[in-house]
Chains A and B, each alone.
Chain A
């Protein structure tokens, strides 16, 4: 009998799904015959991912991200306050929360894009106060909400640049004569081998996001902060991305900001819910879903502005029936939740 409210909660949690779904149309450009219409033929080679990840895991084996008392303030507005967060290797952590909850700001703070107080350490070294490129060199990689790749450069050049932050000046001044093995592997892993010589600008939206993940892999990042990695992807692409992230998560520290609840239920090991700059709840998917505070935030209180729900959507009470996305299979998700991790 407890089934009914739980389904309701799940449906509520699924509401934000509407947002990414809206821009789900791949960013195809009809004028570019080679890349646009052709779907990614090669499924991502997880074997390739293994080869990439297999290198140099011992060094970071016991690394974890430890955020303590993090606070970000913009001209008096506190975007993130007193956030404590610990993410270990092998724990694929999802970060959720309504818009304005401070998820992206948290990532910005950890990667040095905004000034923050408190502490954020990875691999035993403090990240706050360092410049962004030094944080990146310490093994922290991130993606952005909007896929940001170098559009005029080819897929291969994008990956080659990502692989080269530790190159010496003389190597940089030379022409690329061979493809680094890691780049070759990454091309295969993200299924872009056939598109390697195309400008990244003509790739479909999902492909651009795959390219970004590939760039993180060759960058040799050991803490990966992904901001909505599956936005705009098809169901099949989401599945592949999830498998890849799970594979990466077993060897690296991965934090995923995501609105897609179906994706979260399928792949999250643990979830941190943020609300108005604070950590509201933390735990497994089931724990978080049954947390009354989380339910309240997602159901929406008068104090909470529309949140993730786009303006003009139906009122909260009627949402469950309408807003459950077509591809979200609650029964399937429920069985997944029961699975032991």
Chain B
């Protein structure tokens, strides 16, 4: 009981310290890691962005989003389309369209020629899709496993749609072979390093946003909706609206992760957006600890890193390892690895400790202490 409460309102100094540490570590990475490893880390950070959003929607809001691949894919494909058009030059046609398509750029690709429009659409399209879908689903009180199945079916449908539209989406191959990112040559290691720093900065901003939301009244309301949806309704709130907001935020974060994933990795294909990657996003969050702030991020990065290193050693062993890890965590650590700290014997000082968060009521901690004595 103390762990979630303590994490609802962590002390400000502790949070700042954690942020400082994370920033230093992320800034040190380029100096320590080889360009290849740094590229991998940048990719992990992009995947972790999806995890941050899932941590909010699932950990805080109880929305088991098994289809974040859809939003990751929307962001990724929009970015990839822009990069393809930019590579082709003004009025040019992307190479794969000449191979498989009519040799004409379809009308719905055209707005993405402008970099500003591309960035705007990367944020807007997932938000609108998630908003409409969320509204339709949550006002009909679809929840729990039904919502999970629905979102997963959506991810499957999205992947199938992409595969079927080879002339305009590249089909199974996806979109790849990007040469430049907003004018910067992607073959240049310095630019790759810049991409890494952008990803690190964006991730930190996202964590800060989720922390702000969690500590806000909205964050409290979200937890209330997760635990007692009907009670919230009887207080005069529309829980569907609260859920939609959390879902949209998670969707936009997934989309931004997808958009940065494209220049970092150099390819986006249906294999990155379907059911399997959608579940993969969730596993990192579950292992790290979904209800905590940093659990999803660290869990996601750790799982990505383990996947890479284990796959290097045992090319087909990862999938078994991943399954076993997931089962172990769900069975023995439902709160994720982050809850391990709560199991260790430590100062039990929940109320007094919490006061660092607001600092409005200096007497409260003492009162609680006195009550306990």
Residues of A within 8 A of B (CB): 32-35, 38, 111, 113, 131-133, 136-137, 141-142, 144, 148-154, 157-158, 160-162, 164-167, 171-179, 193-199, 201-202, 215, 219
Give the residues in chain B near A161, CB-CB below 8 Å.
Answer: 217, 220-221, 224, 232, 235
Residues of chain A within 8 A of B234, CB atoms compared = 111, 132-133, 136, 141-142
Contacting residue for A175 out of B1, B5, B217, B235, CB 8 A: B217
**B236, CB-defined interface residue at 8 Å:** yes
Contact A148 B228 (CB under 8 A): yes
Given A176-B217, A176-B358, A202-B1; A136-B224 close (CB under 8 Å): no
> 25 A-B contacts, Cβ less than 8 Å apart?
A34-B371, A133-B236, A133-B237, A148-B231, A150-B223, A150-B227, A152-B4, A152-B5, A157-B220, A160-B220, A161-B235, A164-B221, A172-B217, A174-B216, A177-B360, A179-B360, A179-B361, A193-B367, A194-B368, A197-B351, A197-B355, A197-B364, A201-B1, A215-B235, A219-B236
Q: In the bound complex, do residue B371 and residue A38 qualify as a contact, i.e. CB atoms below 8 Å apart?
A: yes
Grouping DSSP codes into helix (H, G, I), strand (E, B) and loop, the A interface class, with mixed when no group exceeds half, is loop
Q: Give every chain A residue within 8 A of B372 (Cβ-Cβ).
A: 33-34
Q: Secondary structure of the B side of the interface?
A: helix
Once the chains bind, are A34 and B368 in contact (CB under 8 Å)? yes
Kindly supply a per-residue 1/0 record for chain B positions 1-40, scoring 1 wherever the CB is within 8 Å of any chain A CB and 0 otherwise: 1001100100000000000000000000000000000000
Given contacts A34-B368, A194-B371, contact A153 B220 (CB under 8 A): yes
B228 touches A149 (CB 8 A): yes
Per-position contact with A for B204-246: 1 when CB-CB < 8 Å, else 0? 0000000011011110110110011011111111110000000
A173 and B218 contact, CB distance less than 8 A: yes
Task: Pick the residue among B228, B351, B355 that contacts A150 (CB under 8 A).
Answer: B228
Q: Which of A33, A35, A133 contacts B233 (CB under 8 A)?
A: A133
Q: How far is the CB of A71 from chain B (nearest CB, A)?
A: 22
> Who on chain B is nearest to A132 by CB?
B233
Q: Is the CB of B216 within 8 A of A172?
A: yes
**Alpha-carbon gap, A98 to B285, bound state (A):** 49
Interface centre among A167, A174, A175, A198 (most CB of B within 10 A): A175
Contacts A33-B372, A150-B228, A153-B223: A136 and B217 contacting too (C-beta < 8 A)?
no
- Chain A: CB-nearest residue to B240: A133
Contact in complex: A137, B236 (CB < 8 Å): yes
| Contact status of A175 and B237, CB under 8 A, knowing A34-B371, A195-B371, A197-B351 | no
Enumerate B54-69 residues with CB–CB distance to A below 8 Å. Answer: none
Per-position binary interface string of chain B over residues 61-94, scored 1 when its CB falls under 8 Å from any chain A CB and 0 otherwise: 0000000000000000000000000000000000
Complex-state Cα separation, A167 to B237, whole angstroms: 10
> Which among A152, A167, A179 has the highest number of chain B CB atoms within 10 Å?
A152
B231:A194 contact, CB within 8 angstroms: no
CB nearest neighbor in B for A150: B224
B224 near A153 with CB under 8 A, answer yes
Residues of B within 8 A of A165 (CB): 235-237
Residues of B351-366 contacting chain A, CB below 8 A: 351, 354-355, 358, 360-361, 364-365
